[in-house]
Amino acid sequence: MVSKYFSGFTLVELMIVVAIIAILAAIAYPSYQDSVRRAKRIDAQSEMMGIANRLQKYRITRFSFEKANGSFVTLADIGVSGQIPSSGTALYTVVLSDQSMGTWTLTATPTNAQIGDGHLVLNHRGQRCWTKASDKGGSACVPSATSNWDGR
């Protein structure tokens, strides 16, 4: 007697597996997007710290942020492009402001809502702040001794 049983999966079993995979992907994708956004923000924070180092070197070598013509130092004067990252697609635009009496404030504004999860602000005292989920249209936070880039 010959057995006519076939081994394999039924269509229903395959559809259940596909549905489970789709549910897992729907849960994992937003978490992945958040991780990518966080990594881009951390890269921007690192570049802002590099810009801060360049500003301090400028002040140490010239004893002031004021140039010979009376104007204040710009990002171009210290070799910074004004965007983060400095080459490729800009994720943040960087503005240097409040340069008086040895002070300055760097503000990085996201260039679009997909990447932009908040303004990054750093000042001459090393105080920094980040407001979670503010987009490029929102206002930047004000750094203080208790604020930080981790959103607290």
| The pLDDT of residue 113 is above 70 | no
Report pLDDT digits (tens) over 46-59.
Answer: 888 888 888 888 77
Place of tokens 């990252």: 85
* Domain limits, the chain: 11-130
Instruction: Give the residue-averaged pLDDT of 21-50.
Output: 87
Cβ neighbors of 43 (< 8 A, separation 6 or more) are 84, 85
pTM above 0.75, yes or no: no
| Percentage of the chain exceeding pLDDT 90 | 12
Using DSSP's 3-state secondary structure scheme, residue 84 falls into: strand
- The more confident residue out of 146 and 32 is 32
What pLDDT does 138 receive?
Answer: 64
Residue range 4-18: average pLDDT? 86
Q: Locate tokens 């340069």: which residue?
A: 99
